[in-house]
Chains A and B, each alone.
Chain A
Amino acid sequence: MKRRKSTFAPKSALSLDDLKPTRLGEGGRIDIADWSSLPDTLVLDAELRGAMERSIRLLPHTDRSVVLLRDVEELTTEETAEILENASDAVKTRLHRGRLALRQHLDRYLRTRKGGMPHEG
């Protein structure tokens, strides 16, 4: 049976390959922002909070729901599965894909952030 496509479905499904960092040249180092400059005791300033909101909004609908419930609201896999009426394995798969996509969006943001890295709070 052909399933109706959700209004919120992304134009194309994200694949894990799209979310892997690329290498700079053959055998070169991976192309990744300097995340180590983010202090552990970081307090979200308005700019970073805005970047988080935009990054979360960019996630496909199904992955976004899981990321919001698991990582933002800190519910368990089982609680998330119950709310979304999904199997736990499906929640885990969507969570991983959503986290990788969110990391990729934030990685791009960190490269362009004005005034360097956020201040320690």
Chain B
Amino acid sequence: MKDDDCARIFELLSEYLDQELAPNSCEQLENHLHGCPECVEFVHSLKRSMALCRQFGSCRAPAPIAPDAMAKLRDAYQKMLARRGGEANASRG
């Protein structure tokens, strides 16, 4: 990965794979991928690594969480539920 184009797309790959990249950047990145099999290979490996994370999350036993971290998570979760409830009520109203 010495080429400037390869280095530039290297910084954008997560946003690209999360489908959060601006359309013009996305087009430039895909144009580069069409002519660079090595970057395609790298993107493939990054994508597989992310897929392994998801599979790891769905099959692992829950790890013990420290009480303060659990309280923080519970608090954030409650806030998220309240916000979602508010959004649902707003869309119904």
Is A87 an interface position by the 8 A CB rule?
no
Are A38 and B48 neighbours in the complex by a CB distance under 8 Å? Answer: yes
Is B88 an interface position by the 8 A CB rule?
no
Are B45 and A32 neighbours in the complex by a CB distance under 8 Å? Answer: yes
- Of all chain B residues, the one with the shortest Cβ separation from A99 is B14
Contact with A along B29-51 (1 / 0, CB 8 A): 00000000010011011101110
From 58 to 89 in chain B, residues with beta carbon under 8 angstroms from any chain A beta carbon are 59-60, 72-73, 76, 79-80
Interface size bucket, B side?
Answer: 20 to 34
Inter-chain CB contacts under 8 Å: number: 86
Are B15 and A73 neighbours in the complex by a CB distance under 8 Å? Answer: no
**Distance of A82 Cα from B80 Cα, bound (Å):** 9
Instruction: Given A16-B11, A35-B41, A49-B60, verify A99-B80 contact (CB < 8 Å).
Output: no
- Of all chain B residues, the one with the shortest Cβ separation from A48 is B52
Are B56 and A82 neighbours in the complex by a CB distance under 8 Å? Answer: no
Residues of A within 8 A of B11 (CB): 16, 96
Interface size bucket, A side?
Answer: 35 or more
Are A44 and B55 neighbours in the complex by a CB distance under 8 Å? Answer: yes
Q: What is the CB-to-nearest-CB distance from B5 to chain A, in angstroms, rounded to a whole number?
A: 13
Is B54 an interface position by the 8 A CB rule?
yes
Is B2 an interface position by the 8 A CB rule?
yes
Residues of B within 8 A of A103 (CB): 45-46, 49
- The answer, among B1, B15, B48, for a CB contact under 8 Å with A21, is B1
- Of all chain A residues, the one with the shortest Cβ separation from B77 is A83
Q: A99-B49, A100-B46 are in contact. List 12 more A-B contacts (CB 8 A).
A: A21-B1, A23-B2, A33-B45, A36-B41, A42-B52, A44-B55, A44-B59, A71-B50, A71-B57, A72-B53, A92-B20, A102-B49
Chain B residues in the interface with A (C-beta under 8 A): 1-2, 7, 10-11, 13-15, 18, 20, 38, 41-42, 44-46, 48-50, 52-57, 59-60, 72-73, 76, 79-80
